[in-house]
Chains A and B, each alone.
Chain A
Amino acid sequence: MKQYVIIGNGVAATGCVEGIRSADPEGKITVISGENRPVYCRPLISYYLEGKATPEKMNYRNPDFAEKMHCAYLYGKQAVQLDAKTVVLDDGTVLPYDEVCIAAGSVPFVPPFAGLDTVEKQFSFMTMDDALALDAAVNKDSRVLIVGAGLIGLKCAEGLHGRVASITVCDLADRVLSSILDTRSAAVMRQHLEENGIHLLLGDTVSRFEKNVASMRSGTEVEFDVLVLAVGVKANTALARQAGAEVNRGILVNEKMETTVPGIFAAGDCTEGMDASLGQRRVLAILPNAYLQGRCAGINMAGGNAVHDRAIPMNSLGLLGLHAMTAGTAFSEADGGSMVEEKSEAGWKRFFLKDGYLTGFMLLGDVDRAGIYTALIREKTPLDSIDFAALKKSPTLAAMPKENRRKKLGGVV
């Protein structure tokens, strides 16, 4: 009987458990969970702040999951050492393994701000514990400063909106959501956020904290009661390095989720795998990728033959009523890319093309049926085989070749 160890207990780890069990009903699975609770839906922590999600409704799997998968969970434990045969935990436990998957996720990255230790109420915004602590720390009079106008920082701002006296968000980048939006799209989102009372300080960062005052590089001073640090995250790669696996920004994995060390797999936010829209490896720290990578790793660990080779960046997020969806890669003109824009009353769409293929898009407001666009990127559909002129106005299967439609709508998919 094979022994499997999974390091981490998030979405990738859960995918891994399900992947293993789809191919091996017998083997012994041990999951090491740093957090002291069953797997939950991490991206819902901002909805928890907002009062739209309750802890009971945030569990990612049913309470009988562990039993059904007959899988042992070790809660509140950290793996501290990994070699070719064993995993060692922080309490000294040694777990032998035949196959191991590192699904350790990422941790907040906090730059060394001067005077940060003088700030009494400071929080990260990654875990349920972070959300519970922040929830308890704010009241209607709180002035909140969020450092980082990325996905985490702005979802946190949305969660607190209406619950606190003021929200200021600063970012070193000159635009909001700089990892997924270009300058023009970000300007639309920025205006929307400002109209809703979020105070934005862009192209600016904190040079020094002194208790409840942040002195910005621009010279501005921001007084606050509660500080949220959402600058960025870094992949948990220490164990993989220790085991001799190649690591860049994340643990390098191939399309089977194998690291460069035989018998050691990795999945989720801690990895760096192929981005099919970019044609290069990059960290794709998004939930769908975490699940699919985890499941792929699990199947292969159990001797199956799974491949995950269509990963692309995909983000869907609403912020105070304006919805943004982005996918793929926006190649610049210098890299051979071009951009097509489509504006309507419902919203704004920007499509990025290269070599006759759609490689990426950014949609604001008008997001209905966006998956039809996403599929064009993932399936690498040549644009000359479809009616893209019609499609960019409105995503429709009518713009696809009839044979393609017959297969998709007339058969089991």
Chain B
Amino acid sequence: MKRVYVNEEWCLGCHLCEYNCAFANSGETDMVKALKGKPIFPRIRVEGENLIHFAVSCRHCQDPICVNSCISGALSVKDGRVCIDHTRCVGCLTCMLVCPYGALSKGPEGAVQKCELCLENACGEPACVKGCPNRAIVYEER
């Protein structure tokens, strides 16, 4: 299965992936309207300071502990992808307590959000990868 991988040697730390992610998942068609002056809720996060930078998003683990731990049945695996049903999530945050990557976060409505590889939104392919200026984030089979 294709996944998002990062190469920290090439990451500039520009945080564009975070903006592209938040925009792709906002449901808006205009980036300025979606993001300007608002708190943004990206599902990818650029870490590090000074010389080292890299982006972290859901690894879509083969045996995801978040899914195994979910108390509400909101998290599930669909064709290898870890997906969340926002209508079932009660915001208990157990998934955030168990994910070793810190890849899940509280969304704007209280339910948890996570990377679903942009297959649930209008983008259709990972927006973080598409917008990465230095190809530090890639979407491929490994």
Binding site for B on A (CB under 8 A): 41, 43-44, 47, 52-53, 57-61, 287-288, 291-292, 295, 314-318, 323, 325, 327, 367-372, 374-375, 378-379, 395-398, 402, 405-406, 408-413
Contacts and interface: CB of A to CB of B under 8 A. Distances in A.
A316 B104 CA distance: 14
Contact of B97 (A60, A374, A410): A374
Classify the secondary structure of B's interface with A. loop
A371 B73 contact: no
A412 B99 contact: no
A367 B106 CA distance: 10
B119 to A, nearest CB: 18
Contacts of B73: 41, 58-61
B101 A316 contact: no
B71 interface: yes
A325 B69 CA distance: 14
Size category of the binding interface on chain B: 35 or more
Contacts of B96: 316, 325, 367-371
Interface stretch (B18-26, B27-35, B56-64, B121-129): B56-64
Contacts of B14: none
Contact of B100 (A44, A47, A375): A375
Nearest to A295: B68
A371 B56 contact: no
A384 B54 CA distance: 23
B76 to A, nearest CB: 9
A323 B87 CA distance: 21
Nearest to B65: A288
Contacts of A408: 59, 100-101
12 contacts: A47-B90, A59-B73, A325-B93, A367-B93, A368-B96, A371-B100, A375-B100, A402-B8, A405-B54, A409-B101, A410-B7, A411-B5
B49 interface: yes
B71 A325 contact: no
Contacts of B106: 368
A395 B56 CA distance: 12
Contacts of A406: 8
B105 interface: yes
Nearest to A326: B97
B15 to A, nearest CB: 14
